Structure 1
């Protein structure tokens, strides 16, 4: 027995020692890729010494003798901190993820190859002006210099992920930066899903789309044809079940396209007499964040703000005289077409001029641990052909037809990068608005503030459509009918523009910006109908604003949707019936209603009311739509406030949704509201216990900032994923979009990855923050150091003063001209 015990001790000790040694070696090799921010490097490709001054928060302030040298250093800094992220983004747009990650990403690669965004980026290099091309080449040289330094100095392959995945790093090119800008168009596009879903709901009959997918208030379309009337042979099985998208797919689910807030006040509306501007773009939360803070000192002056690694632009930020913010414009820049195949020759399709052959090309996708996949890529004169396995296209495609796509992001002469560089050098609102003319995609609202004025202009090409378009771009249309095809693009002067408005305030929350009839309408589908109500009120409550009031608005957590819906939904439930005994479902319902009746709509993480409200509305919408839409109801994962309001106000007879079609009794909206509340409380009780007052919104509304690859591994996820309790919700200005699906439907997965507030009365008092940290290295202290500030609603200073940058430097990287040491 004693011998057995000794052997057990030896085995356990050996196992523990092996784990410790394995952990040490993993740490050692991973830590080799941690950059030294106080190093001096001899590099080729610069004309004079360059300094990269790192602030305490690892924000690089870059000083060089020429713009070329500064962009070179920005490329090196991006690669130093985010090389893995840049590599994955490039592989995504190239359609080459499967070479590294295997068959799990094959579907994404297939779609990206068919769109050929990378090919469009290569051709778009020639569309850039000379200054932009020089900046792109300098930036690429800087990225490549860091790759060389990693290889020569045995710096852990540049990132720990490269030890786990065999992902050879190709040198960076100008086309790579243009491709990542196009990748943003993918991440911000909502029309793929909207067009298909509208067609699928339309096929159910009874005009359900009018209620469940309503137009924003204001003049709307009078009527659309039933999709089935356009295509009588389309399959009626609209509830096609498809596999979930790849975990690394850049295509957002419905409601998860880009969102943002931006607002500005002219000097006469500012307490300190200088213009104010605030911006917080919203994207899917990841670790590291897609955003990276940087300051570049150009010949035209300093520029500071939010960059995206891989792109040599400050996309949102300021220089000494001008500040700019961006919001998704939700412009309808995409159309899907049903293309009829020639029955006698399926390699030809119907056009207004007759049958025409597809343009075709072969492509091979290399797949790790599997055979290569060969694709035949096809294009019509409308655009690339998409397979039915994407976006549920098969459910709306008649037999003998395929779907093609026209989209501004497919432009092969895309000068958006040149427009972005011109914006960085602009010195006034009017200069910035003029610079936007060369911008192509993705469509954005550009909110501007200079020393004396404010404004907003929509930048990006808007398609010119024929007034006779069969679906007005809201559903797939017959591609062979000339009236459905684009006739070009609207002139830039037609884009919405508001310069120096009379009230001195401009705002945008992805709300409807113009009320113009089709085809100059810009869009029918907008990203917000709720946040704009709150922001309008906050901006109107004060005659003058300050940096502090702008910060308060940016961090506001009051939900106008909750304030508007609860009085409607609970109108006949408040304080009704005799008090119920403790411990009964009736008592829990009464207590929940008591709490909600006294609640002001603040989605505070420490309160139970936001959780009760969110669960109630989720259960309510599910009860309202489940019998009418059937399995298609699963597509509506997020609360649709305009729909619920229409139902409970019985707008255009929308109260019909309250009656359960399959049951004999006629249910009222009050009945459904009561049953939905009971559903929600039962679910919450099972998850959070029986004491309603102890429930916390933050326990359910946890921000999930996950590493896209390592975060899925059990042990590595514990190191790389960032979890934080957060306030806010789907419709608050401090937006925290909920996941909408089980097992954690209220998890915060889409929020402001960047926040900035600029005060031109005292520019050095401007502030900004990102959601994670600057570094993409999980072992770096800068991997998540800013996330604590972000969660608490705090910021870091935003100064263009070189002396302040150097005085607070946590490290200075010096680049010296010359060949690296052998």
Structure 2
């Protein structure tokens, strides 16, 4: 027995030793992809030596003799830290994800091929000015120089993910950078999904007035009432029963447009003149919101150009500071929600399905065929078709199939689908602009996605300009672009795009403060209305209050506003919903549902609407409102209720104020009794508390919003694998919510409806009274390598609402550097 025991011990020890050796070997091989920030490399393509100084947060400060060399250095730095992210973005734009990931990404490739994103990107390079092309080529040379070093120096294939997938990498091209800008436009596009949803509701609701409740216009006049629009089936003389009702195919997590409703674009930006600043210098704060990933899409960088230093947030793949400052001008961006997409229902010729109807009769589709290679499966051949309005998109995308009548197909018109997309040019020109006028002029080159460009100059001026092409629509458009329209009706078709001067502009306001939270910016009649759908009606009220509360502002007051977690929606809705429930009835016995409800209402009665991670009230409120909205709508719209899993504050306000008779939603259609809004509110609260008790225990006081509201930074590929997810995914309890300035939007889907999945991946506050006191931060870390200590080192600062210095002083960068990469040109 003792001999057997000794041999068992030896075998176990040997197995453990082998496992340790394997882990260490994998760690060592993967660690080769972590760049040495203190190395010196000899590379082709430079005119003079370049220094890349990494400060303590691994932010590269790039110094070179020429702009060409500086852009070269940024390309190399991006590739050092985010190579896998760049390659994935490029492959997505090319419609080639399935070559690596197989059938799960086939739907993505199908869409991107039909939009022809990469071909349009390649053609758009010819539309750029020589300076932009030169910058893109220099950047590409820097990326390719690093690819060369990875191969020649055996640097772990450049990213640990490349050990799991085919490591062959094509050289980076200027078209690839343009394609990355296309991908950002696609991620921020959302009006087509609103058109589809409105059409589906039009089919589902017996009372057209219900559309005004569930999809209300943003507050303000000058907007056509929904009741003036035709019912969707009437546009095609097709009975509603003949429309397809099948659900669309599920979207894969890699899907570039899988943001969910209301997540197409969001951000905050505001600026103040010296007259409203305590230190007499212009101020600007900006935090763009996108879906959270690990690593974040943002990357901090500083470039020392011939025109001077520029610092801020970039997206790896593009040599552009998208949000930041130089020593004379600062700029920030928010989604403008300009309606730059229209859907058209195209009628097929019954005698020849290769033809579609136009205002001038039947016309042939422009067609071609493409082959999509699929890992571990046979290749898939697709036939692409284009109409005069745009590409034909199959019904499996965006739920198009549910609203396309028989004998028809859906096409898409989008301003970004052009061979003259010069948007990237705007970013490069902003980096060297020195005045408000130069900044505004740079915006004229921007195509899509439409943005609000906020500018603040060192000489005390501020401005906000909507940049991006606005479709030129006819006043007689049948649906005012709110729903898909017949593509053969001439009045529905675009007449091109409007001139830049038609875009809203706000310069040097008398109040001294400009701000935007994706809220409605103008009150203009269709077709110059900009949009019927806006991204915010709540945050702007909180921002306005905070800005008006002080006569003068400071950098710190701007930071305070940026991190504010008070929900204006909660303060508005909760008193309406609970007004007949608070402090009513006798105290119920302990352990009963009535007693639990009374305790929850008592907590909410003392709550100020702050979505603090350490409090139970935000969790009770969020669960209650979610359950309440579902109870109000599911009996009337059925499965379509799944499109409204996030709380719609204006809808709830309309119901509980009975605006336009909206309290009718409180009555359950299928029941014989007549339910009141108070009845539904009470039942919804009981259901929410029951769910919370099952999930978090019976002690209400111990519940915490942060336990349910974790920020979910998932690796887009490896994050779904059990073995690696605990290494590559980042989880953090967070404050904030869907309608707070410190926005932390939730998905609403089970089993974790309150996760923080869409938030400010970048925050920056710029102060021209003391420019080097400006600050910024990103949501994870600079490195995309999970084995690097800079993969998530900024994440905890971001979670706590802290920042790092944003200085253009080269001495400060050098004084605390963690390494200086020196690039030497080939002799």
Q: Which residue among 224, 232, 236 is the counterpart of 2:237?
A: 232
Q: Retained in 2: the 8 A contact 1:306–1:315? A: yes
Checking the alignment, whether the CA contact within 8 Å between 1:349 and 1:355 is kept in structure 2 is: yes
Structure 1 residue 294 displacement after superposition: 0.1
| TM-score calculated relative to the size of structure 2 | 0.98
Superposed CA offset, 1:70-94 (max 9, x none):
0000000000000000000000111
Is the 8 Å Cα contact of residues 530 and 731 (structure 1) preserved in structure 2? yes
Between the aligned partners of 2:15 and 2:732, the Cα distance in structure 1 is: 34
1:580 aligns with 2:581: no
8 Å contact 1:199–1:227 — kept in the other structure? Answer: yes
1:36 is the counterpart of 2:36? yes
2:482 to 463, 474, 482: 474
Task: Measure how far apart 1:7 and its partner are.
Answer: 5.3
- Note if 1:460 corresponds to 2:468: yes
Instruction: Give, in whole Å, the separation in 2 of the partners of 1:4 and 1:397.
Output: 73
CA distance in 2, matches of 1:515, 1:313: 33
* Alignment match, 2:628: 620
Cross-structure match for 1:319:
326
The SS at the match of 2:560 is helix
Residue by residue, what CA displacement relative to the aligned partner does 1:575-628 show, whole Å, maximum 9, x if unpaired?
001001111111110010000000000000000000000000000000000101
Partner of 1:347: 354
The 3-state SS of whatever aligns with 1:277 is strand
Partner residue of 1:503? 511
1:497-646 to 2 correspondences below 5 Å = 497-646=505-654
Deviates further, 274-283 or 392-401: 392-401
Match for residue 417 of structure 1? 424
Task: Find the residue that maps to 1:324 and give its secondary structure.
Answer: strand
| RMSD value, Cα | 1.1
Deviations 1:79-119 (A, max 9, x none): 00000000000001110000011111000000000001111
For 1:512 and 1:283, the matched residues in 2 are separated by: 20
Match for residue 271 of structure 1? 278
Q: Structure 2 CA distance, aligned partners of 1:47 and 1:575?
A: 76
> Would the aligned equivalents of 1:34 and 1:777 in 2 still touch at CA under 8 Å?
yes
Secondary structure of the corresponding residue to residue 687 of structure 1: helix
Matching residue of 1:125: 125
Q: 1:667 aligned to 651, 654, 675, which one?
A: 675
Q: Determine the C-alpha separation between the residues in 2 that align with 1:503 and 1:632.
A: 44
SS at match of 1:615: helix
Aligned residue in 1 for 2:254: 248
Shift of residue 420, structure 1, vs aligned partner = 1.4
Q: Does 2:719 correspond to 1:711? A: yes
Q: Which of 221, 224, 242 is matched with 2:224 structurally?
A: 221
Determine whether 1:779 maps to 2:787.
Answer: yes
How far apart, in 1, do the equivalents of 2:753 and 2:437 lie? 44
Q: What pairs up with 1:786-805 in 2 under 5 angstroms?
A: 786-805=794-813
Alpha-carbon distance in structure 2 between the residues aligned to 1:168 and 1:198: 45
Please tell me whether the aligned partners of residues 234 and 399 of structure 1 are also in contact (alpha carbons under 8 angstroms): no
2:445 aligned to which of 438, 449, 457: 438
Contact 1:193-1:253 at 8 Å conserved across structures: no
Report if aligned partners of 2:249, 2:397 keep a CA contact under 8 Å in 1. Answer: no
Corresponding residue for residue 202 of structure 2: 202
Instruction: Assess if the C-alpha contact under 8 Å between 2:157 and 2:167 holds in 1.
Output: no
Residue in 2 that maps onto 1:297: 304
Residue 711 of structure 1 deviates from its aligned partner by 1.0
Q: Deviations over 1:175-227 (max 9, x none)?
A: 00000001001111111211101000011231121110111011222221100
Offset from partner CA, 1:524-560 (integer Å, 9 cap, x none): 0000000000000000000000000000000000000
Contact map agreement 2:247 2:402 (CA 8 A) in 1: no
TM-aligned CA deviation for residue 25 of structure 1: 1.6
2:684 matches 1:676: yes
Q: Distance in 1 between matches of 2:224 and 2:15?
A: 70
Deviates more, 1:307-316 or 1:232-241: 232-241
User: CA offset at residue 438 of structure 1?
Assistant: 1.1
Answer yes or no: is the 8 Å Cα contact 2:314–2:323 preserved in 1: yes
- Which residue of the partner structure matches residue 80 of structure 2? 80
Partner of 2:47: 47
Relative to the length of structure 1, the TM-score reads: 0.99
SS in 2 for 1:791: helix
Measure how far apart 1:8 and its partner are.
4.2
Stretch deviating more after TM superposition (234-243 or 457-466): 234-243
2:264 corresponding residue in structure 1: 257
- Measured in 2, the distance between the counterparts of 1:662 and 1:433 equals 57
Shift of 1:249: 0.2
Q: Work out which of the residue numbers 205, 211, 221 in structure 1 matches 2:213.
A: 211
2:289–2:761: 8 Å Cα contact kept in structure 1? yes
SS in 2 for 1:577: coil
> What SS does structure 1 have at the residue aligned with 2:22?
helix
Q: Tell me how far apart the structure 2 counterparts of residues 3 and 379 of structure 1 sit (CA, whole Å).
A: 78
SS at match of 2:802: coil
CA distance in 2, matches of 1:259, 1:599: 27
Please report how far the alpha carbon of residue 242 of structure 1 lies from its aligned counterpart in structure 2 after TM superposition: 2.6
* Alpha-carbon separation, structure 2, partners of 1:580 and 1:299: 74
CA distance in 2, matches of 1:764, 1:560: 33
Q: 1:231 offset after TM fit, Å?
A: 2.2
8 Å CA contact 1:238, 1:632 repeated in 2:
no
1:10 offset after TM fit, Å? 4.5
Deviates more, 1:203-212 or 1:118-127: 203-212
Give the superposition deviation at 1:232. Answer: 3.1
Give ranges in structure 2 of 5+ residues lacking alignment. none
The answer (yes or no) to whether the contact 2:289–2:759 under 8 Å persists in 1 is yes
CA contact (8 A) 1:203 1:238 kept: no
- 1:329/1:444 contact within 8 Å kept: yes
Q: Secondary structure at the match of 1:203?
A: helix
Per the alignment, in what secondary structure is the counterpart of residue 711 of structure 2? strand
CA distance, structure 1, for counterparts of residue 442 and residue 815 of structure 2? 35
Q: Contact 1:235/1:395 (CA < 8 Å) preserved in 2?
A: no
State the Cα deviation string for residues 658-697 of structure 1 (Å, max 9, x = none). 0001001100000000000001000000000001000000
Contact 2:425 2:445 in 1 (8 A): yes
- For residue 21 of structure 1, report the CA deviation from its aligned partner: 2.1
Q: Aligned partners of 1:63, 1:557: CA distance in 2, in Å?
A: 39
* Residues 720-769 of structure 1, C-alpha deviations (whole Å, 9 max, x = no match): 11110000000000000012100100000000000000000000000000
| Correspondent of 2:454 among 447, 452, 455 | 447
Match of 2:163 in 1: 163
Comparing 686-695 with 9-18, greater Cα deviation is found at 9-18
Alignment partner, residue 730 of structure 1: 738
Does the residue aligned with 1:579 lie in a helix, a strand or coil? coil
Which residues of structure 1 form unaligned runs of 5+?
A: none
Find the aligned partners of 1:100 and 1:107 in 2 and give their Cα distance: 14
